[in-house]
Amino acid sequence: MWLQLLTLLTLIALTGLTLWLRRRLEGDEAPLRVLAHRRLDAQHALWLVEVDGHRLLLGGGRAQLSLLKELGE
C-alpha cells in the first residue's frame, strides 16, 4: 500500500515538474499580443495587434476578421 502511494505521489510530482519546465522553456511571452481594442458598434471592432514584432490593424465583425493595414515594426 505504501509503495503504491509513493508511486502515485512520484507520478504527480513528475507531471507537475514537466508542466512547469515546459512553461519555463517556452517563455512567458506569447507570439500574439493585443495592444488595443476599440468597439465601433454592436457588431464591429478594431484591434491593434503585434505578431512576431509586426504591428497589424485588424477590423472585424461577427463572422469575419480582415487585415486593414500592416503598420510595420
pLDDT given for residue 68 in this prediction: 92
Q: In this structure, are residues 57 and 69 in contact, taking their beta carbons and an 8 Å threshold?
A: yes
Domain ranges of the chain: 1-28, 31-73
CA 55 to each of CA 46, 63, 66, 67, 72: distance values in angstroms, whole numbers, following the listed order: 13, 22, 14, 11, 6
| pLDDT tens-digit readout, 9-55 | 888 888 888 877 777 666 656 678 889 999 999 899 999 999 878 89
**Smallest Cα–Cα separation from 68: which of 27, 40, 31?**
40
Q: Is 73 helix (H, G, I), strand (E, B) or coil?
A: coil
